[in-house]
């Protein structure tokens, strides 16, 4: 945290300390009527919470979710009876963790409508390892336009150059496009291999990654295969050799990785 951010955080905390408790309760009782406002409130609590605390997200019909915050990090999210589980081996990057939490909260918000964030009380200490994120991470991710549709944005930007592609969403949905039967067979075979290895943790325990990744290799003398992954979403696409660099550039622009 830089000096300016630290000063802003301190001012915010002092303002809340100096605010009468009745005024604070009134603020808490006003529901966040848009997703951006809800994330802003959650980010503020993350920034200001050091000891383990439990918060609830409540709609007009009751409690929708439970959030655990500790040491200025979001460390657990439970929606209804379901805890949002993040595999420690895959979700070691805070940005990836923030993305999954933000996606789950947004889906909840779209179902439940305006919600209030309320402090419940102390929470047991939880060893969450790498499956945590800061207020900055979740705020940055949640305020990216269409943050849950980056793979679709990549497809849109590279579709014209592609010889064919297979999109597999984290929900299991599969969409395919392509008229070249041989190319589509190669992509399907490639997908089967990747999915098989992903399920076989003993042979390839790191085959999956929650961080965005992009791999390219030849499948014919004239064509390249591209495998793009973002969380549990995958794209298997084929491009002519002459267009593969443009396709990789499209992926870098969508995922902001050109500087790495």
Tell me the domain boundaries of the chain: 31-144, 148-255
CATH superfamily of 148-255: Dynein light chain 2a, cytoplasmic (3.30.450.30)
Please tell me the predicted confidence (pLDDT) of residue 144.
75
Please tell me the predicted confidence (pLDDT) of residue 210.
52
Q: Which two tokens stand for residue 10?
A: 């301190």
Cβ(106)–Cβ(34) under 8 Å? no
Please tell me the predicted confidence (pLDDT) of residue 244.
94
CA 228 to chain centre: 15
With both helix axes pointing from N to C terminus, report the angle between 135-142 and 35-48 in degrees, rounded to the nearest 10: 170
Burial 17-28 (b: 16+ CB within 10 A, else e): eeeeeeeeeeee
Please tell me the predicted confidence (pLDDT) of residue 260.
37
Q: Which two tokens stand for residue 168?
A: 């597999």
Please tell me the predicted confidence (pLDDT) of residue 240.
96
Q: Would the pTM of this model clear 0.85, i.e. be above it?
A: no
Q: Which two tokens stand for residue 40?
A: 């802003």
Phi-psi region of 246 (alpha: psi -120 to 50; beta: other; left: phi over 0): alpha
3-state helix, strand, coil in the chain (%, to 5): 45, 25, 30
Q: Which two tokens stand for residue 257?
A: 């990785």
CA 35 to chain centre: 15
pLDDT, mean of each 10-residue run, the chain (260 residues): 52 50 55 89 92 93 93 92 80 84 88 91 76 90 72 86 89 85 93 80 43 87 92 88 93 66
Please tell me the predicted confidence (pLDDT) of residue 152.
82
Please tell me the predicted confidence (pLDDT) of residue 225.
95
Give the position of tokens 């591209």: 226
With both helix axes pointing from N to C terminus, report the angle between 35-48 and 94-112 in degrees, rounded to the nearest 10: 130
Please tell me the predicted confidence (pLDDT) of residue 42.
94
Alpha-helix runs per DSSP H in 91-175? 94-112, 135-142, 150-158
């Amino acid at each position: 945290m830089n000096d300016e951010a630290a000063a802003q955080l301190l001012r915010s905390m002092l303002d809340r300390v100096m605010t009468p408790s009745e005024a604070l309760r009134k603020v808490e009782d006003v529901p966040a009527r848009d997703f951006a406002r809800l994330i802003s409130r959650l980010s503020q609590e993350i920034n200001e919470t050091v000891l383990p605390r439990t918060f609830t997200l409540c709609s007009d019909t009751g409690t929708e979710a439970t959030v655990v915050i500790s040491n200025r990090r979001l460390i657990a999210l439970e929606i209804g009876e379901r805890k949002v589980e993040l595999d420690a081996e895959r979700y070691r990057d805070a940005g990836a963790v923030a993305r999954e939490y933000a996606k789950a909260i947004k889906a909840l918000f779209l179902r439940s409508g305006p919600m209030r964030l309320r402090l419940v009380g102390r929470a047991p200490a939880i060893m969450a390892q790498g499956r945590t994120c800061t207020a900055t991470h979740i705020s940055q991710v949640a305020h990216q336009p269409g943050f849950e549709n980056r793979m679709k944005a990549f497809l849109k930007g590279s579709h014209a150059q592609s010889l064919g592609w297979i999109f597999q969403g984290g929900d299991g949905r599969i969409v395919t496009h392509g008229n070249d039967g041989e190319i589509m067979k190669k992509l399907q075979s490639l997908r089967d291999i990747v999915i098989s290895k992903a399920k076989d943790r003993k042979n390839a325990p790191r085959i999956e990654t929650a961080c965005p990744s992009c791999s390219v290799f030849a499948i014919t003398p004239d064509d390249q295969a591209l495998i793009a992954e973002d969380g549990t979403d995958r794209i298997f696409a084929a491009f002519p050799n002459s267009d593969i660099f443009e396709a990789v550039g499209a992926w870098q622009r969508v995922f902001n990785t050109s500087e790495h």
